[in-house]
Amino acid sequence: MNLRGIDLNLLPIFEAIYTERSLTRASEVLHVTQPALSNALVRLRRAFGDPLFIRSGRGMTPTTEAEQLIGPVRDAMARLRAGLDRGQGFDPKSSERAFNIAAGEVATSALAPTLANSLLVEAPRVRFFFHQTDRAAIALELAARRLDFAIDIAALAQPDLESRPFLEDPYVCVLRRGHPSARRRLTLDLLLRLTHIAVSSRRGGRTVVDLALNRIGERLRPVMRFPHYAPAFHVVTTTDFALIAPLSLARIHDVVIRPLPLEGLNLTLYLHWRRDTDKDPATVWARDHLVAALGSLTPQSGGAERRRTRAA
């Protein structure tokens, strides 16, 4: 599409309608009247040759064309806001900046509750979008500015990226409350005799637990394998199966937590960002905010948790 054929002032309107799924809420966010927003939607439809949004109940459902457009539009808006923030300073109270973060299930689950609550108070219009991104593509996504941050292993570090330790999360064994072995000390022999579930984003191959056990000549033979922890925790709470999972995830479920009889089995994650954004006030604020939102999930708190589980 030739940009001369579209009023660029319509792009924030498209983004707001897509996000809010409602003309009423979008008009409130943009501080414009609903008739003015409806007129803008007519112009958007004409410019793109597509309905873009279809009424569904009390809301608006995006069309396939709108779904394809939202990524480039958000990317363009994020770059524009970043430029404005850089030139005028960054005020989280009024900024509408969107930050895109590549993060897995563990980091997202650890961050999301605290981050959501703090944003309501400190930055009500700032947005954090979390994405599961293939590790091989993360560096390119950061370079292309489609990502602002990545939370991943240290091996992701590259010369044009800055990195800092972010989360040291010990692995623990979890059992349902009332499990026949829940009150017993978890020895290596007992760990090996339990019926296990495995979690790995890969379809096959060894997990970090497999690698640790392989070093001492042992192995687990899980009866189920999932790509995510959510279904695994659901199975654990309703069966006598066991699961080895990061402590930060275990703590948000109603399960019995036991320290592993294996030394140094931790999930270690780093926060990565582009070096050329180090003087961008918005990026610095977001980075500090992510670190603060991690809250009590530090190596020290993990040690305290391990002491409590031994006493349970």
In a domain, 48, yes or no: yes
174 shares its domain with 262: yes
Does residue 146 lie within any of the structural domains? no
User: Considering the domain boundaries, does residue 97 fall inside one?
Assistant: no
Cα atoms in the Cβ-side hemisphere of radius 13 Å centred on 36: 10
Tell whether 64 is covered by a domain: yes
What is residue 72's predicted lDDT score, i.e. its pLDDT? 84
Amino acid 171: pLDDT: 96
Domain containing residue 1: CATH number? 1.10.10.10
For 259-284, how does the pLDDT look when each residue is reduced to its tens digit (9 = 90+)? 999 988 999 999 999 888 888 888 99
The DSSP annotation for the chain comes to --GGGS-TTHHHHHHHHHHHS-HHHHHHHHT--HHHHHHHHHHHHHHHTS--EEEETTEEEE-HHHHHHHHHHHHHHHHHHHHHHHHH---TTT---EEEEEE-HHHHHHHHHHHHHHHHHH-TT-EEEEE---HHHHHHHHHTTS-SEEEE-GGG--TTEEEEEEEEEEEEEEE-TT-TTTTS---HHHHHHS-EEEE-SSSSS--HHHHHHHTTT-----SEEESSHHHHHHHHHHSS-EEEEEHHHHTTSSSEEEE-SSTT-EEEEEEEEEGGGTT-HHHHHHHHHHHHHTTT-SHHHHHHHHHHHHH-
pLDDT digits (tens, 9 = 90+) for 235-250: 999 999 999 999 999 9
Among 37-41, 156-160, 216-220, the range scoring the smallest mean pLDDT is 156-160
Assess if residue 272 is contained within a domain. Answer: no
pLDDT band at 5 (very low <50, low <70, confident <90, very high): low
- Residue that has been written with the tokens 């590259």 in this structure: 158
Residue 229: predicted pLDDT? 94
Say how far apart CA 95 and CA 116 lie, in whole Å.
16
Give me the mean pLDDT over the 160-186 stretch: 93
Domain termination residue (choose one: 88, 112, 132):
88
Count structural domains, the chain. 2
Q: What is this structure's pTM?
A: 0.66
70 inside domain? yes
pLDDT tens, position by position, 18-32 = 888 899 888 888 888
Question: What's the rounded mean pLDDT across residues 224-231?
Answer: 94
Range of the domain at 25: 1-88
Choosing from 88, 121, 155, the residue where a domain stops is 88
Which pair of structure tokens corresponds to residue 130? 């979390």
Q: State residue 238's pLDDT score.
A: 95
Report if residue 302 sits inside a domain: no
Asked if residue 126 is part of any domain, the answer here is no
Of 35, 54, 88, the residue that ends a domain is 88
Backbone torsions φ then ψ of 56, nearest 5 degrees: -145, 105
Range 32-36 average pLDDT: 89
Q: Which long-range contacts (CB under 8 A, 24 or more apart) does 156-160 make?
A: 156/270, 156/272, 157/270, 157/272, 160/274, 160/275, 160/276
CATH number of the domain to which 249 belongs? 3.40.190.10
